[in-house]
Amino acid sequence: MVLGLTHLRSLRWLRILFQCVLIGWLGFVNGDMVSQALLLGWVQSGIPWQRAFGLTILTAAAFVIPITTGRNVYCSHLCPHGAVQQLVRRRIPWQVKLPATVQRWLNRLPTLIIAWVVAIGLLHLSFSAVDIEPFDAWLWNIAGMSTVSVAIIGLIASCFVPMAYCRFGCPTGALLNYVSHSSGKTLNRRDLIVATLLIACVIVFCWP
C-alpha cells in the first residue's frame, strides 16, 4: 500500500526489487492470489477466516483500497502474475499494435468471463472456475493443464502486447477496475450488467 499510494512507486529499482520478492514469495511460495475461483468458493462455502486469515485480509484490501482511493493497487502492486507481465513488458522488439476494433472486442472478454463465473455459481454447474484463470498455475505441483495453458498463453501474449492478459483476459482485474472507477460516475452499461448479475444472485440465494 505504501509503495502503491505514494511517490515511492516512481523509484524503478525499488519497484523491480519488490516485484521480484512478490513473484517469489506471494507467487511461488504462498500461491495467495485473489481470483474468481476464490471468490466463488467463499460465496458458496463461506470464508475460512482461521485457515486463510492472511488471504482474507489481502482480498479485503484488494476491494477496500480501490473503493476508498480510486486506485487498483492489487493489480498494479500485489498480483504476482501482473508483476511478471510488468517485467517482460516491451522487452522484445517485436511489439504488436492491435486495431481499435479488436481491442474493443477483447475488452469485453473479462466481463463475459465474470458472467460465466456467476452462472457457474447460480446454476451449480460442475465446471471449475480455476480453469479459466492462470493463478493456480503458480502452484505448479498441483496445477491442472487448463490453468497452466492460460498462464503460458497469457504471458507469451504479454511479450508482444504489453500487459495483454491483465488488459484483455483477467476477470478479477476487470472487477477491481470497475470498483475503482465507479465512484462518483453516472450509470453506464457496465453498471446495468452488474445490477443484473446482483439481482440474479439475490433471486437464487434469497428466494424462499
DSSP letter for each residue of 115-133: HHHHHHHHHT-S--GGGGS
Q: Is the pLDDT of residue 54 over 90?
A: no
H or E element in which residue 41 lies: helix 36-45
- Domain span holding position 170: 2-206
Angle 166-171-177 (CA atoms, 0-180°, nearest 5)?
70
Q: Which residue has the cell 476494433?
A: 101
Average pLDDT score over residue span 150-173: 95
Average pLDDT score over residue span 146-153: 94
Q: Is the pLDDT of residue 155 over 90?
A: yes
Q: Is the pLDDT of residue 195 over 60?
A: yes
Angle 27-29-120 (CA atoms, 0-180°, nearest 5)?
55
Contact present, 77 and 9 (Cβ < 8 Å): yes
Mean pLDDT across the chain: 86
> Total domain count for the chain?
1
Supply the pTM of this predicted model: 0.83
Alpha-carbon distance of 36 to 138, in angstroms, equals 15
Better-predicted residue by pLDDT, 81 or 198: 81
H or E element in which residue 159 lies: helix 145-160
Which residues neighbour 148 within 8 Å (Cβ) at sequence distance 6 or greater? 134, 137, 140
From 38, 40, 35, 207, select the one nearest 118 (Cα to Cα): 40
Q: Check residue 35 and report its DSSP letter.
A: -
Decide: residue 71, CB within 10 A, 0-12 exposed, 13-18 middle, 19+ buried.
middle
**Quick one: cell of 65?**
483500497
pLDDT in tens, 59-113: 998 988 888 888 899 999 999 999 999 999 989 999 999 999 999 999 999 989 9
